Structure 1
């Protein structure tokens, strides 16, 4: 008995082997009968997180557009898992730790494909890029050159102030001989542009346009859009009604587009998870979701938290999608390569 006690004491000392320390830790837990009773609240938090991830589409928008706000930042809910894990270990609760299997499984089902797989491929006949350049951009010419440096065949810019349009035109003229500016959005192309006109998205001024780009593989209808901004206010919640109405109008315009091959470039001020963009997302594919590497967050440029800038397609096959280096704007430019 004395020898056994001494051996056990030595096994838990400073010179003990890792396996011996694990065995002592395991025996200690086995003797702790409260390991399953503690952490019930933490386990319920894991269940609640799981329900949010599964049922986010059922969270009502009637109060402060809470559903859309949740869906905008839905991937970030995964950060609650390590927090709950740390608290569960701190409480020494097997119940809390095991309950985390639920939200982890659901989160991986929703976003694992984006996070852990690179779906980009080679080839493609057309490269497109889009960028909200920010009306207060102090270096419009430099920003234009940065986007043009991506090698895109077609470039869309949003939030173009009237007094700075000429700066963008001058900086892009050499690479893109064809262009059209409608209101605060513009389209630049290496290929001829025709039939350019505004698209009414129910704002009273022009923040969307459509044009035909004559690529070597045939015509492609390109839409450029900048949907209204959204705000999070303590007294009003997620104020997105104007954005939602514009999204419906844009979706209706695209639905009535007779041309088979359509590309949408722009700042939609919403993510693909946001139900309020359903009028658009239900009929077009996101290039990031189909052919991107990672989440591709684009805003804010200093610490991207959401992909609110989008490249979407209909009638063409996305092959690759990526973010471009930061410019003087508060958004990151994004680009995609498609097969026509």
Structure 2
């Protein structure tokens, strides 16, 4: 039987088999129609090229943007991944302007962005794990704390941390979570619920004057782990001072010192840090621990604001254990999304 060939019209009067890549070539010809012989393609688009270079420099040198004025360094690092949206915009504008200079310049920020965040685009989620943990800033103004508690308990987490617990709502959370968690402790406005026994529960001083961080030893079947729950102070935008985070930064340093002094090998940190892993102001914490989302998640795992997540400020971080998977949980009555992770405590196998 003769092999049938798919035919397509050629530039001539006949027809022939469509060769691989011919569609791409036709699309390229359409986009670049009129470019041949146009000497202006290198002169046009200089402004776009400059903007592309500036974008690349901001992403490449973000650690050198000073925090002295309105904490701009931390602000840029908090929303750094979103700068990548400017790349396709510049690309389209370069095509519209028919500027070879602009199109070549756009390659630089694209490469820098992929170098910084390309690894987060791959799915690193694994299976298994000895322990599932979750954390949720439940929002002090949550209109339905009981439903929120039941929703996060239904995730199956053996350890659940809650932040921003108003004293008036604590009994509601305790009642709703009691069927799932036999053990729990609340320190100030943060709490930890566990299916395993807890000892050595104590407040962690993060230099606020009131309690928003705690530590407990949890006796898991694989042995004891130190669990920290923390809610860093909110970052504020002030009319005259701009984007300020001095109080948050001081608290982060204090939390980092406490974790550095931890005697147990295996450590899990759960909480709302009011900052991303890129934020230099959290270095005292992030330099010691691994992000489960970065190590075993899929995508960026943005958690705030819940209505349109733009940043991952709710963190699960570990030391001495292996992250297996990490993800966000469905929205509750809070302005944050809950986040969860599975980790492997037994690292001997």
TM-score (norm 1): 0.92
Is the CA contact (8 Å cut-off) linking 2:149 and 2:173 kept in structure 1? yes
The 3-state SS of whatever aligns with 2:257 is helix
Q: CA deviation at 1:122?
A: 1.0
Equivalent of 2:87 in 58, 70, 81: 81
In structure 2, distance between residues paired with 1:269 and 1:287: 17
Aligned residue pair count: 325
In structure 2, distance between residues paired with 1:301 and 1:79: 20
- Is 1:160 equivalent to 2:160 in the alignment? no
What does residue 43 of structure 2 align with? 37
Structure 2: 5+ residue stretches without partners: 1-10, 12-21
Alignment of structure 1 residues 109-148 onto 2, 5 Å: 109-115=115-121, 117-148=122-153
What does residue 104 of structure 2 align with? 98
Structure 1: 5+ residue stretches without partners: 1-7, 9-16
In structure 1, distance between residues paired with 2:137 and 2:279: 20
What does residue 192 of structure 1 align with? 197
Q: CA deviation at 1:235?
A: 2.5
What does residue 241 of structure 2 align with? 236
For residues 30-68 of structure 1, what are the alpha-carbon distances to aligned partners after superposition, in whole Å with 9 as ceiling and x for unaligned?
A: 122111101111101111111111110011111111110
What does residue 3 of structure 1 align with? none
Q: Alpha carbons of 1:21 and 1:231: their partners in 2 closer, same or farther (altered >3 Å)?
A: closer
In structure 2, distance between residues paired with 1:51 and 1:24: 32
TM-score (norm 2): 0.90
What does residue 34 of structure 2 align with? 28
- In terms of fraction of residues, the more helix-rich structure is 1
For residues 262-301 of structure 1, what are the alpha-carbon distances to aligned partners after superposition, in whole Å with 9 as ceiling and x for unaligned?
A: 1000000000000000000000000000000000000000
What does residue 54 of structure 1 align with? 60
Alignment of structure 1 residues 213-292 onto 2, 5 Å: 213-292=218-297
The 3-state SS of whatever aligns with 2:343 is strand
Runs of 4+ in 1 over 4 A off after TM superposition: 17-27
The 3-state SS of whatever aligns with 1:87 is helix
In structure 2, distance between residues paired with 1:144 and 1:192: 20
For residues 97-122 of structure 1, what are the alpha-carbon distances to aligned partners after superposition, in whole Å with 9 as ceiling and x for unaligned?
A: 1111100011011111102x111111
In structure 1, distance between residues paired with 2:337 and 2:331: 5
Equivalent of 2:178 in 163, 173, 176: 173
Aligned-pair Cα RMSD in Å: 1.7
Is the CA contact (8 Å cut-off) linking 2:31 and 2:95 kept in structure 1? no
What does residue 321 of structure 2 align with? 316
